[in-house]
Amino acid sequence: MKKTAHIRPAAIIRVLLYAALILFAVLFIAPVAITAGMSLIGEDGTATLRNFDDLLFNTFVFYPMFWNSVLYAAVITLVQFLVIIPCAFGLSQTKIKGRGMIFVFYIIMMMMPLQVTILPNYIGLRDIGLLNTRLGIILPAIFSPFGVVVMRQYMKGMATSTIEAMRLETNSIIKVIIHTVIPQIRVCIFAVGLFVFADCWNMLEQPLLFLDDKTRQTLTIFLSGAEQYEGSVLFPAAVIFMIPVLLVYSFFSSSLEKGLTMGDLS
């Protein structure tokens, strides 16, 4: 008698898992592929580059909005680290009374939806005269709690011996952070920077509510009102909108994977 092949349950589970991962990958990639495809299809249904021509050569308001998005995302990401790293270091390594409660407060602030904080930010910017200014977009975003929470968790896993040795040589906390802390958290910095950049690049409510001058508005505002411009400029603008984040991710993807592995979560 011939022996029947026996399929192990583990092999079946593995195949189903791979199939599910491929399905999810297709679902995530499909919108990007459809957007790229639609950007090359004209109003008559034929393949053409006319849509990009209408955007790049006939819709000049696109350029200041694009560079405003680059400016806001880059400046906010870089300046945030001047706040994130010292705050995270203080919450993870120093013996401050009540630091646990302060960290809980940061978590609560991080979990609050944007709609809860947008009105206080608007009132504060109005009272100090920063509405309809670039600083009015940059300043509130600098103090976002997300980076502090992630960085603090990562710093809990740092080697404290090098920090203590550096403290014997200098009383400057700035030197301790620069020479001993930053080298240990470099991958986390790249990971947090990618998330912060993507979040700032995609922001819509802040420039929509805080800015009236189109020369200071962002590419997200352009996309939300693309139908008012001549030609089919929505899909070409969406393709260009995706490129900076994809480039940043491609450069720092390995650091992102390492940075997501945090230390002690206590």
**CATH number of the CATH domain containing 210:** 1.10.3720.10
10 domain-assigned: no
39 domain-assigned: no
pLDDT at 163: 83
Q: Which residues of the chain, if any, have pLDDT below 70? A: 1-7, 254-266
Which residue segment(s) compose the domain that 191 sits in?
Answer: 52-259
pLDDT at 255: 66
Would you state the structure tokens that stand for residue 177, as one six-digit string? 């952070």
144 domain-assigned: yes
pLDDT at 166: 84
pLDDT at 99: 85
43 domain-assigned: no
224 domain-assigned: yes
Would you state the structure tokens that stand for residue 18, as one six-digit string? 């791979």
Neighbours of 73 (CB within 10 A): 23
pLDDT at 240: 93
Q: How many distinct structural domains can be found in the chain?
A: 1
30 domain-assigned: no
> pTM for the complete prediction?
0.84
pLDDT, tens digit, 9 for 90 and up, residues 137-164: 999 999 989 999 999 988 888 878 888 8
99 domain-assigned: yes
Q: Can you tell me the distance from the alpha carbon of 39 to that of 238, in angstroms, rounded to the nearest whole number? A: 8
118 domain-assigned: yes
